[in-house]
Amino acid sequence: MSILQALDLAVSLSRKPILHGVHFNARAGQLTCIVGPNGSGKTTLLRALTGELPYTGQILLDGTALSTQRPEALAERRAVLPQAMPLAFPFTVLEVVRLGLTGTAALASDAADLPRRALERVGLSGYEGRLFQQLSGGEQQRAHLARVLVQVWRPVVAGQPRWLFLDEPVASLDIGHQLQIMRLAKEFAQAGGGVIAVMHDLNLTAMTADAVCLMEGGRVLAHGAARDVFTDSILSRAYGCALKVSTPPPDGGVFILPQAAA
């Protein structure tokens, strides 16, 4: 079983401590969601896990320190979807998605066809020739997701799972596309890959996540199944407001409802 671990992780940005004493783990085959209030360190944790930020402590992929891996080797094993990024030059959507064809992905026999299939999966079929800069925010987000998917198209290669790191993948999407993208992430995990996603929407998280990591004030407040993490008391403490968790029929899934101030 492939596992990504962070042990006693601490991150400071311009000498201000953002994360401290963070223990985190995620398993391949699962969709792990990181949630928490604004400024709790969700994105910082994700960026440390992907090697973007300097940290103290350890980040291990199957027991091997991530910091010792070469960028080329890392790019083979994981792909990262950052928050919205402006693009410097007028690339077409197809050209942007093709940037994901790196390493062995570029050499695969079906490489030429992958971008089209990835665009189909994110619901952007027929957008190949459009200029990326002229797309809406949500469309740009999904085009980047297609690029990331192309990079790690097969969730498992030679017995080794690959990982997707998604920073608020559904932030600027409508509800239909939110569900489509979460389903896609879920499918990647079910096929044996690992997915770690920073999420804002607690209900969407409860609906899809296999494991939830709730952050607050730069620490992990709770870690486990959504049912265990999303309780009235834990959530109300993390978000500093009254939240009521219910389990409505038909499937008894967790549903979070804010309580109006009396």
Partner 1 sequence: MVAIPSEAPMRSGDRSPRARAMLLALVLLLAATGAASLAVGAAGVSPLAVLGDWLAGAEIAMRERVILFDIRLPRLITGMLVGASLAVSGAVLQGLFRNPLADPGIIGVSAGAGLGAVFAIVLGGLLPFGGPHLVPLAAFVGGWGVTMLLYAVSTRAGRTSVATMLLAGIALAALAGAGMGVMIARADDAQLRDLTFWNLGSLAGASWAKLAVAAPVMLAGLAAAPFLARGLNALSLGEAAAMHLGIRVQRVKALAVLSVAASVGAAVAISGGIGFVGIVVPHLLRLAIGPDHRFLLPGSALLGAVLLLGADMISRVVVAPAELPIGIVTALAGAPVFLWLLLRKRGLVDL
- Does 60 interact with partner 1 (rule: CB under 8 A)? no
- Does 203 interact with partner 1 (rule: CB under 8 A)? no
If the CB atoms of residues 21 and 103 are measured against partner 1, the closer one turns out to be 103
Cβ at position 233, least distance to partner 1 in Å: 37
Give me the sign of the Cα torsion angle 140, 200, 58, 14. Answer: positive
Cβ at position 127, least distance to partner 1 in Å: 8
- Does 95 interact with partner 1 (rule: CB under 8 A)? yes
- Does 249 interact with partner 1 (rule: CB under 8 A)? no
Task: Supply the DSSP string of 178-240, one letter for each residue.
Answer: HHHHHHHHHHHHHTT-EEEEE-S-HHHHHHH-SEEEEEETTEEEEEE-HHHH--HHHHHHHHT
Contact in structure between 228 and 221 (CB atoms under 8 Å):
no
* Binding residues for partner 1 restricted to 118-157, rule: CB under 8 A: 127-131, 134, 151
If the CB atoms of residues 89 and 261 are measured against partner 1, the closer one turns out to be 89
CA 122 centroid distance within chain: 15
Q: Determine which residue in the list 50, 141, 205, 208 makes contact with partner 1, applying CB under 8 A.
A: 50
- Does 12 interact with partner 1 (rule: CB under 8 A)? no
Beta strand 160-161 with 64-65: parallel, antiparallel or unpaired? Answer: unpaired
Cβ at position 241, least distance to partner 1 in Å: 32
Cβ at position 47, least distance to partner 1 in Å: 8
- Cite the beta strand spans of 62-216 per DSSP E: 64-65, 78-81, 156-157, 160-161, 163-167, 194-198, 211-216
Contact in structure between 137 and 84 (CB atoms under 8 Å):
yes
Closest CA to 24 of 194, 184, 158: 194
CA–CA distance from 123 to each of 61, 146, 215 (Å)?
A: 32, 9, 32
Contact in structure between 123 and 131 (CB atoms under 8 Å):
no
- Does 25 interact with partner 1 (rule: CB under 8 A)? no
| Residues touching partner 1, count (CB under 8 A) | 36
Q: Determine which residue in the list 29, 36, 41, 100 makes contact with partner 1, applying CB under 8 A.
A: 100
If the CB atoms of residues 5 and 140 are measured against partner 1, the closer one turns out to be 140
Closest CA to 27 of 178, 222, 163: 163
Distance CA 16, CA 105 (A): 39
If the CB atoms of residues 132 and 239 are measured against partner 1, the closer one turns out to be 132
If the CB atoms of residues 39 and 103 are measured against partner 1, the closer one turns out to be 103
Q: Determine which residue in the list 72, 107, 136, 240 makes contact with partner 1, applying CB under 8 A.
A: 72
Stretch that binds partner 1, among 16-24, 70-78, 186-194, 204-212 (CB under 8 A): 70-78
DSSP tag of 154: S
* Binding site residues, partner 1, CB under 8 A: 47, 50-52, 71-76, 78-80, 82, 85, 87-96, 99-100, 102-103, 127-131, 134, 151
